[in-house]
Structure 1
Amino acid sequence: MTQPSTVLILGARGRFGMAATRAFAQAGWQVLAQLRPGATGPAIPGVLWLAAEPGDTAGLAAAAQGAAVVVQGLSPVYTHKAWRRDLPGLTQAAIDITRALGATLMLPASVYNFGETMPALLREDTAQAASTFKGRMRIASEAQVRAATQDGRMKAVVIRGGDFFGSGTGSWLDEVMVKDIRRGKLTYPGPMNVPTAWAYLPDMARSFVEVAGRRDHLPAFEMFHFAGDQLTGQDWADALAEIAREQGWVPAGGKLRASSMSWLLMRALGLVLPNVAALCEMRYQWRTPHALVNTRMAVLAGAEPHTPFPQALRTALAELGLLTPRKENAVKKSTVTMQAFERSAS
């Protein structure tokens, strides 16, 4: 395995970028973490924050001399207009700095590429037949990267995962599913019995580290799947119910209320909110069973990093500030019980 070296993370303050920054630093890499001028990043051992625009190829190349890997954590905001305007340019910015460094570009990808007719098992060679605007944009972006590898000045690796959760805000988990969890309610985007692919971001970021360390064994362009977890809405409800009882969000022995999100309301909101309209076209993913098969990843690096789902969920909820520490929660319950006893005895 290639010895750890230096990695440049583009968009290191974003959700995936931050997960990648932490994963590479924990693995002993020297991490150069790009963020926009004026922004700041947390102090992390082994991480040097670089304030620069993504398109400042000369400046970034000078600051990142010696970086062997570039991780693309840049992404447009979630509207069609932003993706059409910004995605090709952000992809080209990542290509330009990677070529200037003679490095390997790594970028996360989604299941958008496969479209509404996707089969239940998604392999690396499964035909991509995007049925949405974002799916077609993703296909074009990956093709743009592949084309840039043809003259030998850079390598590129695409790692595809399911819906992200963990490592902060901005996912279905915090924006929809657990927004009312403290009132004992789960709102799920689809039918409760349909299994779909999920990627716990810290694990997916660790898979980037594993592949980056083996980059010398890869062809000019390679694609991997990160299997992650295949979960139904009921799986989420069961795991959350245990936490909800522990946290006092539902009574001991009580049930977590679970309901499906109103797509009719979402479509109505989409008439005035472009980001909601963009989400609505992805509804098919929640009605179509699918899982990612990680054959190539397993051959290259063995078993992929995997945090057990209940543990990953707890960590994700804690990062969202939703969990009361167990000891504190136990004291709170004990105090409530004692107060009830004293009232009954008086």
Structure 2
Amino acid sequence: MPRALILGLGGGFGSAVAGALHARGWELSALVRDASRLPPGLPAARLFAGDARRRDDLQRAAEGAEVLVHAANPAKYRWRGVALPMLENAAAVAESERLTVLFPGNVYVFDPADGPVFDESSPQRPITEKGRLRLAMEARLAQAAERGARVILLRMGDFIGRHAAGSWLQHLIRRVPRGIRLTLPGTSELPHTWAYLPDAAACAAALLEVRGELPAWCPLHYRGHRASFAEIATALHTASGLEVIPHPMAWWPLRLAAPFSPLMRGVIEMRYLWQREVNLDDGRLRSIVGDRCPRTPLDEVMREMLQGPVPAD
């Protein structure tokens, strides 16, 4: 029975992949700093106390594993000081233990001017500091694949779903007396790329089960849902029967807070993703996993989201 070590078990992608692997009979382990802070309902896993920023802790937890799911994501965009050192440790351990790394990529490495649709051969010309950091992280993983590790980089859009904690869409939906308010960070008709967590996790698990048949360095794109906010609004109405009230997002408070908040600076820096299309072509992915990579209809996705806690104004 294969075993996967999960970094970021308490997060949305980490817990979703853990659940998908557990359903397929995998053994799971996880490196956690504080087990008491893990959310309820996670699949059974052997927990190792430690910190992924300490290589010895990671090395100890990785013993006996075949796969390392790197789903840890530092809060508040602390990528340079936290994410890069953490990734370096994961890459080094994967090299020494000959592990397969599953890493969730994003669209930050692309310039929208080269789009609007991007596949695995598209140029990577990031236009933000965060995009350049992600490019450096991907380069380190590609290097690991030359040094004995195997790497599956699954590139996805913004996560959506009931358990996509902290995702954009969760912040944009509010219950109001008249129905549901949907805040629009951009125009209502611009397509945006979304990844429904259960579908993306099922796809990731399917890839891990054929990892030996893939190249050592294997970047793949996951199309997910390509949907505008107008389509999101329609799906919300279909799912709930409630009136959906579009509301333009006020960006000026974020700009005022940006000089004092790294998080707000990060949000402002990535605003272009609500102004330009960056869509993913997953033809290569589909040729590998076919119908093992599901695509849940958008109205069902919204219905599942609304079953979770939706803040009220």
TM normalised by structure 2 equals 0.91
The answer on 1:20 being equivalent to 2:17 is yes
- Give the drift of 1:204: 0.9
The answer on 1:156 being equivalent to 2:156 is no
How has the CA–CA distance of structure 1 residues 244 and 28 changed in structure 2, closer, same or farther, with 3 Å as cutoff? same
Q: 1:309 aligns with which of 278, 295, 298?
A: 298
| Pairing of 1:130-169 with structure 2 (within 5 A) | 130-151=126-147, 153-166=148-161, 167-169=163-165
The alignment partner of 2:303 has SS state of helix
Q: Distance in 2 between matches of 1:321 and 1:287?
A: 26
The answer on 1:10 being equivalent to 2:7 is yes
| Pairing of 1:103-118 with structure 2 (within 5 A) | 103-118=99-114
Q: Distance in 2 between matches of 1:59 and 1:274?
A: 29
Which letter does structure 1 place at the counterpart of 2:91? I
The aligned length equals 308
Q: Which moved more, 1:114-123 or 1:231-240?
A: 114-123
Task: Write out the 4+ residue segments of structure 1 that deviate beyond 6 Å after TM superposition.
Answer: none
Which residue of structure 2 lines up, in the alignment, with residue 344 of structure 1? none
Q: Distance in 1 between matches of 2:114 and 2:177?
A: 35
| Pairing of 1:208-219 with structure 2 (within 5 A) | 208-219=204-215
Q: Distance in 1 between matches of 2:47 and 2:176?
A: 35
- Give the drift of 1:205: 1.3
What are the ranges of 5 or more consecutive residues in structure 2 without an aligned counterpart? none
Q: Which moved more, 1:262-271 or 1:7-16?
A: 262-271
The alignment partner of 1:113 has SS state of coil
Pairwise CA RMSD of aligned residues? 2.1
Which residue of structure 2 lines up, in the alignment, with residue 329 of structure 1? none
Which letter does structure 2 place at the counterpart of 1:277? R
Q: Distance in 2 between matches of 1:9 and 1:201?
A: 16
Which letter does structure 2 place at the counterpart of 1:235? E
- Give the drift of 1:210: 0.7
| Pairing of 1:53-92 with structure 2 (within 5 A) | 53-79=51-77, 82-92=78-88
Which letter does structure 2 place at the counterpart of 1:164? F
The answer on 1:257 being equivalent to 2:252 is no
The alignment partner of 1:23 has SS state of helix
The alignment partner of 1:199 has SS state of strand
Identity of aligned residues (%): 30
Indicate if the aligned counterparts of 2:220 and 2:282 stay in contact, CA closer than 8 A: yes
Q: Distance in 2 between matches of 1:226 and 1:107?
A: 13
- Give the drift of 1:311: 1.2
The alignment partner of 2:127 has SS state of coil
Which letter does structure 1 place at the counterpart of 2:247? S
Q: 1:319 aligns with which of 301, 308, 311?
A: 308
- Give the drift of 1:27: 1.8
- Give the drift of 1:259: 1.8
- Give the drift of 1:88: 1.3
Q: Distance in 2 between matches of 1:135 and 1:174?
A: 23
Indicate if the aligned counterparts of 1:168 and 1:319 stay in contact, CA closer than 8 A: no
Q: Distance in 1 between matches of 2:287 and 2:29?
A: 29
Q: Deviation string for 1:305-346 (max 9, x for gaps)?
A: 2222111222122233569xxxxxxxxxxxxxxxxxxxxxxx
Larger Rg: 1
The alignment partner of 1:128 has SS state of coil
Q: Distance in 2 between matches of 1:232 and 1:43?
A: 32
Q: Distance in 2 between matches of 1:67 and 1:7?
A: 5
Q: Distance in 1 between matches of 2:21 and 2:164?
A: 18
Which letter does structure 2 place at the counterpart of 1:165? I
Indicate if the aligned counterparts of 1:174 and 1:320 stay in contact, CA closer than 8 A: no
Q: Deviation string for 1:131-184 (max 9, x for gaps)?
A: 011111100100011112212x21111100011112242011112x11345653
| Higher strand proportion | 2
What are the ranges of 5 or more consecutive residues in structure 1 without an aligned counterpart? 324-346
Q: Deviation string for 1:243-302 (max 9, x for gaps)?
A: 443xxxx5xxxx421022122332223233321121111111112123211122112111
How has the CA–CA distance of structure 1 residues 45 and 286 changed in structure 2, closer, same or farther, with 3 Å as cutoff? closer
- Give the drift of 1:37: 3.5
Q: Distance in 2 between matches of 1:149 and 1:37?
A: 31
How has the CA–CA distance of structure 1 residues 197 and 131 changed in structure 2, closer, same or farther, with 3 Å as cutoff? same
